[in-house]
Amino acid sequence: TGQLQSSDPISLEQNLTKDEAQRYDRQLRVWGVKAQKRLRQAKVLLVGLTSTMAEIAKNLVLAGINHISLVDDVICNPSDVKQHLFLKPQHVGKNRAASCIEDLQELNSLVSIQHLTVPISSLDTSIIGSFDILCSSGVDRSM
C-alpha cells in the first residue's frame, strides 16, 4: 500500500524479556544490556537488495533491531539466485525486496520487517526521516 508501518516504540526503560536474554545472551556479553536496548529501538531502511545488502539485512536482524524496511526497484533475475542469500528460483520475476521478507523474518521473529512498496525515486524526507539509518547498495547516488 505504500503506507509506512512501524512497530510500537519501545522505551529504553522497558527491560529485556527472558526470551531476549536467552537469544541474545552471547552478544549481551559483548556490548551489554544498554546497547541491546538501543538496538531494540533502531529503525533501518535498506535500499537495493543486492547480495551485499542481504548480508547486512541478515546481520541487523540477528542483532535484534526494532524495525527494518526493504525497498527495491529491481526484479529478481535467474543469475541472482545462485549467489544471493535470500533469492530462490521461485522469486525470479518478482520484486527483489519482497522476495527477501520471508527468509529474513525467519531469522528473528522479534524484529519487525516490512517491504516498502514504493519506487526508490519516491523516497522523500517524510519517509526517510522516520528511520535512524539508511543503507543503499547498487543504487545510483543521484537518486
Partner 1 sequence: EYGGAKLKILSHYTSRMEPSLILNEKVLSSSLLVVGAGGIGCELLKNLVLTGFINLHIIDLDTIDVSNLNRQFLFKKKHVGESKAQVARSSALSLNPSANIVAYHDNVLNSSFGLSFISKFSVVMNALDNLTARRHVNRICLSANVPLIESGTSGYLGQVQVFVKGKSDCFECTPVPVPKTHPICTIRSNPSKPIHCIVWAKMLFGRLFGNSDDELDPEKDTEEATNSNEKPEEPVTEPSQDIENLLERDRQVLELEKAKSKARYLFHKFYHYDVLYLSSLTRLFKGRELPKPITLDQILSQKLMESRESDGGIDEYTRVWSIDECASRFLNLIEKLQSRVDDSGPISWDKDDEDAVDFVTAASNLRAHVFHIPLQSHFTVKAEAGNIIPAIATTNAVVAGLMVMECLKVLNSRFSDCKNTYLCGRPNTKRLFLPGPLQPSNPNCYVCGSNRVNLRINTNVKLSFFVEEILEKQMNFITPTLIANNTIVFESGPDACISPEQLDKSLRDLQLCDNAIVQVLDGDTDFTVEITLSHWEEFAENQSFEIVGSVQKPQTPATKKRTLESEEDKVPQLKKRKLDQTVNAVSYTHLTLPTIYSV
Q: Can you give the binding site for partner 1, defined by CB under 8 A? A: 15-18, 20-27, 29-31, 33, 51, 55, 58-59, 62-64, 79-80, 82-85, 88, 106-109
DSSP 3-state of 21:
helix
Choice between 15 and 125, CB closer to partner 1: 15
| Shortest CB 83 distance to partner 1, Å | 5
φ, ψ dihedrals at 115, nearest 5°? -90, 120
Choice between 24 and 116, CB closer to partner 1: 24
| Shortest CB 140 distance to partner 1, Å | 18
| Shortest CB 22 distance to partner 1, Å | 5
Which contacts qualify for 99-107: CB closer than 8 Å, 24 or more apart? 99/49, 100/49, 100/54, 100/57, 100/70, 101/70, 104/57, 104/58, 104/61, 104/68, 104/70, 105/61, 107/58, 107/61, 107/62
| Shortest CB 80 distance to partner 1, Å | 8
Choice between 4 and 42, CB closer to partner 1: 42
Residues 116, 70 contacting (CB under 8 angstroms): yes
